[in-house]
Amino acid sequence: MKIGVVFPQTEIGNDPIAIRDYAQTVEGLGFTHVLAYEHVIGANPKRPGGWRGPYTHESPFHEPFVLFGFMAAATTTLEFITGILILPQRQTVLVAKQAAALDVLSGGRLRLGVGVGWNPVEYEALNQDFHTRGKRQEAQVKLLKELWTQPLLTYRDEWHTITDAGLNPLPVQRPIPIWFGGYVDATLQRVARYGDGWLPGDRTAESARPKLEKLDRYLAREGRSRADIGLEPRLSYGDGDPDVWARTMRGWQEAGATHLSINTMRCGFQGAAKHLHALERFASEMGV
């Protein structure tokens, strides 16, 4: 099981030197990858109609493609995964281009985690339809795989029209692995049909068991099995209890997890140094 970290988007600050040092230290500690959340724009809780989301306009988020490009230049082996990129609120061909460029410049170190999101404010700001996001995401994933593997294509569906055109350069990975985040049945079915992996939101393998059983059934229906996909849960640093970490990690490993990310967000740490101190302790205790 590969052990990575969740980039502490809202708590690390904006100092590029601190972010560079974070990436290099994480790599040096032996973590294999970094996962980053994304939000393009934040809502004001005082806006007309109010706002109750977990993030607001005061929550800072570094854009994942730019962030990972910066980190890739400062590291050599650290891999990157968006966890998740809210795909339907973005233009498909532009995502394909950005992901391909990052994959080339990082030497093939990208996994693209995608999801449909929950924030209608972002969809409005990006001029996309919040209510068709699931259906559109399926079409986008199909097109992304074509764009990453074909030098030229002619393609048409409800949302896309490409006439004898293609990306250059193509990515190192053809195609770039696509992982799905989410927990509803529709997401599990997309994992089974199109996915290279699943990013569950459950805190423990025990709570994820019913979903994993459903996923097994959906995979079998597609002629696939869990051996064909990856599984990456997140582990909260929490109160810093190694026994809890070990027990939770063991449960996920027994459930077939291929990757795991340790999340230090919302644990009382502010700034890169405190997050790194926590990760150093985790790496030492868990033998990363």
Cα(202)–Cα(73) distance, rounded to whole angstroms?
A: 33
Q: Are 269 and 11 in contact (CB under 8 A)?
A: yes
Paired residues of 234 in beta bridges = 261
Please give the tally of structural domains in the chain. Answer: 1
SS3 (DSSP) at 29: helix
What does each C-alpha distance from 137 to 85, 134, 140, 233, 274 come to in angstroms?
A: 11, 5, 5, 22, 37
The encoded tokens of residue 82 equal 């968006």
Q: What is the pLDDT of residue 50?
A: 86
For the chain, the residue count is: 288
Which residue range is the domain that position 241 belongs to? 2-286
The encoded tokens of residue 272 equal 């890169």
Encode the chain (288 residues) as per-residue pLDDT tens digits.
999 999 999 999 999 999 999 999 999 999 999 999 999 999 999 998 888 889 999 999 999 999 999 999 999 999 999 999 999 999 999 999 999 999 999 999 999 999 999 999 999 999 999 999 999 999 999 999 999 999 999 999 999 999 999 999 999 999 999 999 999 999 999 999 999 999 999 999 999 999 999 999 999 999 999 999 999 999 999 999 999 999 999 999 999 999 999 999 999 998 999 999 999 999 999 999
Q: Residue 177 belongs to a domain with what CATH number?
A: 3.20.20.30
Q: Please give the model's pTM, rounded to 2 decimal places.
A: 0.96
Closest CA to 220 of 193, 255, 247: 193
Helix (H) or strand (E) holding 35: strand 33-36
